[in-house]
Amino acid sequence: MKGSGKLPPAARAVVEGDRRALARAISAVENGDPSADAILSAIYPRTRSIPVVGFTGPLGVGKSSLINALVSLLRARGRTVAVIAVDPSSPFSGGSVLGDRIRFEGRADDDGVFFRSMASRGAAGGVAAATLEASRLLDAAGFDLVLVETVGSGQVDVAIREIASTSVVVLVPHLGDEVQTLKAGLFEIADVFCVNKSDLPGADLAKRDLAEFVALGSTEGRWSPPIVGTSTLETKGVDELWTAVEAHESYLDASGERRAGERRRLASEIVGLVRDRVGQELTARLEGDPSLRGLLDRVVARSLDPRAAADRLRPSARPSR
């Protein structure tokens, strides 16, 4: 490992494995605190692109129990694991995340597991960006991999999928109509399908349905999502699930997709950062700068429309046609 002598103290503490410093740094990222910038810059060269495995699926399919079982499996194999639970902070999201938090706290004595929930204030893109930066902190802190759980609210799932190296879609038998209406969307999301609670009747049928559906969309030479049945009640299939995740991670390396995906993610992250900065600067100027206030006055008075106002503020941003 590279020496950590030249790092600023907060970053050095993260790299040296100080769990409190890590938690503080993640909070700074989550809250958009300016102190996060220096830490993220300092730790970035020490990141290794560790696997980030996302788990999405409807509420009540047992994602948390599944992740808990995976953590036990991975710890038994000597891997260090960080879990990020993304809480959509919806006023209507229900209270399941609190329960997870309590469940994971039981591992407080094991330094090889780190649990963290991230609130998703603001846009779905915001929490995904914060989760990406938190994963990077966990990477620099030496964790072998990150598991990310979302609670099945669409926008956040899609955003998290974009930062995960492997996405596991968790379903249960007899989701019925719900699954039928979403099949197209599922394909874009899943690298691995998991039919959890496969001790329930109908599991084989659900797996067969999914297999037919996967076969329809499969392309020669491209990754085809495997379908794994699990049951956290009977602790069944959890190792097969992890084997499927590892197979996808190996595919990413062999096909060059890991490198391509990382490049794409970094490009989109940089664009997001520039967008945010432009937006913050402009918001401040629309309130503070008299000439921009005048522009806004004209829009309020209906003598200029919002798109024309945007053109005047950033005429060069519109690609010439």
Tell me which residues in 134-163 interact with a second copy (CB under 8 A).
152-157, 159
Residue choice 64, 120, 167, 198 for contact with a second copy (CB under 8 A): 120
Tell the smallest beta-carbon distance from residue 77 to a second copy (Å): 28
- What phi, psi does 122 have (nearest 5°)? 70, -150
Crossing angle of helices 290-300 and 257-288, in 10° steps, is 90
| Edge-first strand listing for the sheet containing 192-195 | 113-119, 81-87, 145-150, 52-56, 166-171, 192-195, 227-229
Q: Which stretch binds a second copy (CB under 8 A): 201-209, 226-234, 248-256, 261-269?
A: 261-269
Element (H, E) at 69: helix 63-76
Strands 166-171 and 145-150, sheet pairing: unpaired
Least spacing, CB of residue 49 vs a second copy, in Å: 9
Radius of gyration over alpha carbons of the chain, in Å?
Answer: 22
> Taking Cα atoms as reference points, which of 158, 134, 155 lies closest to residue 147?
134
- Which of 138, 63, 134 has its CA nearest to residue 99? 63
Please state the closest distance from residue 249 (CB atom) to a second copy, in A: 19
Least distance from a second copy to the Cβ atom of residue 191, Å: 14
Q: Which stretch binds a second copy (CB under 8 A): 73-81, 106-114, 223-231, 262-270?
A: 262-270
Give the chain's length. 321
Nearest to 244 by CA among 168, 173, 317: 168
* C-beta of 4 vs 268, nearer to a second copy: 268
Q: Is 267 in the site for a second copy (CB under 8 A)?
A: yes
Contacting a second copy (CB under 8 A), which of 10, 37, 244, 249? 37
Cβ at position 41, least distance to a second copy in Å: 5
CB 76, min distance to a second copy, A:
31
Residues 76-95 that bind a second copy (CB under 8 A): 88-95
Contact flags string 169-198 toward a second copy, x per CB under 8 A: x-------xx-xxx--xx-xx---------
